[in-house]
Amino acid sequence: MTEESLFLDPVIGRSAGRIGYFADRPGFDRFAAAYVDGMALLPEPEATIAISTSFGPVRAYRFGPGGDTPVVLLSGRQASTPMWRSNLPGLMAHRTVWSVDSIGEPGASTQRRELTDGVGQASWVAEAVAGLGVTKAHLLGVSIGANLAVQTALHRPECAASITLLDPANTFAPLSWKMIVVSLGSAIPMMPASLRNKLLSWISGGVPVDESVPEGRLIASGMKDYRGAQPLLPRPTEDQLRAMTVPTLALFAGRSIVHDSAKAAATARLIPGAQVEIWPDASHAINGEHPERIARRFAEFTVGV
């Protein structure tokens, strides 16, 4: 794969309005190289497509033959499809997997219109699901990607067969001061790589992070070279959560620095019928720490759904 065949007319250089962009050509080239290297470590996609949405083109990859109700993966902040390397084998054993690069995050998709609220976020996800040629999909997201799944369940429930949430950020509890420090740090373009890696390691439960780790290299480049423009969305209200109808599995990391996991889990239980668990030994990097366990739990949850 080459960047020419993957990236959908990326925005390079400051754009008008609140639109995400790569700071300059060297930054984009650095990110693109890390992205291509990361994709090379994944199973070969059965299909690679571009989907037109109201907010910009979306790059999507299919792993598996298709023909069933698929699971659609929604990455976290500053992340994209290569972050799912450890999760794909287990999930593919149960059903077709699609991974989409989120609009407004560094990846092969491109933002063309401002995203200002949950309705807009849910709209591009629903349009992307329709572009996959299915009426519904199981949405599985981590961190902000899990928040995106919740927004879709709230505003476009018709396209979600279920949602599986991996330590959802800013969804059921406020962000912690530690997470705010990481977020502010990621927005400093000239931050030394060693300090940026320490921030990534902190959020990942102390696992060493440097450019020898493909996912770490990609996320570090996204933090340095991409300028996101999405506002932090308000958390869903208790009334909104009680009115949700989409089957929900919420897995919280007991060692997460993002929020108070116990409080977040308690709030998630307001969703009717939600299956809510706290995994004490997991950090916010739960998807990479427990890929087989997540795949088994997802398969159990979606039987017959």
Alpha helices (H) along 7-156: 25-39, 88-92, 118-131, 144-155
CA-nearest of 58, 59, 63, 68 to 46 is: 63
**Average pLDDT, integer, range 277-281:** 97
pLDDT band at residue 206 using 50, 70 and 90 as cut-offs? very low
Domains: count for the chain:
1
* Residue 279: pLDDT over 80: yes
pLDDT of residue 12: 96
Cβ-proximal residues to 154 (8 Å cutoff; 6+ apart), any chain: 118, 122, 236, 240, 244
CA distance 70 to 68: 6
pLDDT band at residue 17 using 50, 70 and 90 as cut-offs? confident
- Domain with residue 293: its CATH number is 3.40.50.1820
- pLDDT, one tens digit per residue, over 30-53 is 999 999 999 999 999 999 999 999
Q: For all residues of the chain together, what is the average pLDDT? A: 90
* Residue 187: pLDDT over 80: no
Domain that holds residue 151: 3-301
Chain-centroid distance of CA 45 in Å reads 18
Q: Are 152 and 126 in contact (CB under 8 A)?
A: yes
Q: How many CB atoms lie within 10 A of CB 248?
A: 24
**Average pLDDT, integer, range 252-271:** 96
Buried b (16+ CB within 10 A) or exposed e, 111-147: bbbbbeebebbbbbbbbbbebbebebbbbbbbbbbbb
CA distances from 44 to 41, 47, 81 (A): 9, 9, 12
Q: What percent of the chain has pLDDT over 90?
A: 76
Backbone phi, then psi, for 212, in 5-degree steps? -75, -15
Q: What percent of the chain has pLDDT over 70?
A: 88
**Average pLDDT, integer, range 244-265:** 96
pLDDT of residue 212: 67
> Beta strands of the chain (E only): which ranges?
21-22, 47-53, 56-63, 71-74, 97-100, 137-142, 160-166, 226-227, 248-253, 275-279
pTM for the complete prediction?
Answer: 0.92
**Average pLDDT, integer, range 267-276:** 98
pLDDT of residue 210: 59
* Residue 5: pLDDT over 70: yes
